Amino acid sequence: MPSTDADVGLLDPVWAGRPVASVTSDAAILDALVRFESALASACAPAGVAAAIDAAGSDLDAAALAAEARAGGNPVIPLLAALRSRLEGDAAHWLHRGATSQDALDTALALVARDAAAVTVTDATGTARMLAEHATAHRRTVIAGRTLTQPATPTTLGLKLAGWAWSVARATSAVRTAADALPVQLGGAAGTLAAFSASGLDGVSIASRVARELGLAEAIAPWHVHRSPVTRLGDALVELTDATGTIGRNVATLARLGELDDGAAGGSSTMPHKSNPVRAVLLTGAATRAPFLGASLHAAAVTVDERPDGAWHAEWAPFRDLLRLAGGAAATALELAEGLRVYPSVIAAHVASSAGDLLAERAKFATGPAAPADAVPSNYLGSSDVLLDRLLVAIEEELT
């Protein structure tokens, strides 16, 4: 029998066991929900209420809350019931005062997403910088440039690696920017903060205090049906998996040619001779799935009225899945970059064997007869040195 009923990522090796798994777990989401309720109480309730809520939020039964969530359609309702059963007096009275379920869950997921993005940005930054180091080291390594899988013109491995690093760096910057902009959610039942006004409280000021308490951005207004904070981060995460997936696909292709490998030496259950590029494979798999999760977030962003009837509910799972995939992809890409092995002799042999094809464009566009000594791939690299230097500068600019 299984040792646990928890989702530990058995079918998702790209993120299983990674730091992003723990910061996006059900336990992390419950903790974030309690933190929201505590911060709300700290902003508007008498002294001591927030501490009581914090204490009541320990040792909650996530499995029971998940099952009970069916009755109300979200996990906040049974969570509040569980907390109230452990509270009394002012603490029970002020719990969730003025808020609605969506306020709690949106804010909790913003906290979880911020933590997941921080882990992801750290690993992605390391990936880009490591690839940039490889690019510098292989500035002079001539490799066959290939288009539509066929030899085209010569390029350098350094330029290729720098291009990968630049894509990762740009996506990393986008993730960081979107995560830093994640706002608190506090609007009450229909986004007017009316319950605070009815209690003689300033809801706008309370929302600002909750944001400061939790370290989130302040929202100009409630965003119950305006989902750009989620879709912007989702788009950035997909961009990152695009970049790491491109690395994975290229590394797998070049590993098949023997020009480099990802250092993983993955085995097979039946074929002892295999040394599979498993890191590259995991990156490609994550990149294949991520766009559909991002599309789900955009589909869920088409909302109605002041609170959506199902679209919001459709957002939660793909958002977490995307956070996990991107976080796992960034960690895997860093391992690949750190373990990358290059085989210059194989690369040189392939360049030599396809030199005629690689220099065909040169023969067509050369303005005069080329001296035999010049008719070699290493002398037909165009502006590759200049482009590499530009990329290295751009990479660091994106990361700082």
Q: Which residues are known catalytic residues?
A: 268, 307
Nearest-angstrom CA–CA distance, 146 and 358: 9
Nearest-angstrom CA–CA distance, 192 and 139: 59
In Å, what is the CA distance from 305 to each residue of 31, 161, 188?
30, 48, 14
Task: Name 3's Cβ contacts closer than 8 Å, sequence gap at least 6.
Answer: none
Which residues, listed in sequence order, are joined to residue 342 by a DSSP beta bridge? Answer: 260
For the CA atoms of 239, 241, 243, 161, the dihedral, rounded to the nearest 10 degrees, stands at: 150
Nearest-angstrom CA–CA distance, 187 and 191: 4
User: What is the total residue count of the chain?
Assistant: 400
Main-chain dihedrals φ then ψ at residue 329, nearest 5 degrees: -65, -40
Main-chain dihedrals φ then ψ at residue 144, nearest 5 degrees: -70, 120
Output b/e per residue, 44-78; b: 16+ Cβ within 10 A.
Answer: bbeeebbebbeebbeebeeeebeebeeeeebbbbb
For the CA atoms of 9, 12, 14, 16, the dihedral, rounded to the nearest 10 degrees, stands at: 10
Q: What token pair was written down for 123?
A: 């690993």
Nearest-angstrom CA–CA distance, 217 and 219: 6
Contact predicate 252/284, CB 8 Å: yes
Q: What token pair was written down for 186?
A: 């506090």
Helix (H) or strand (E) holding 183: none
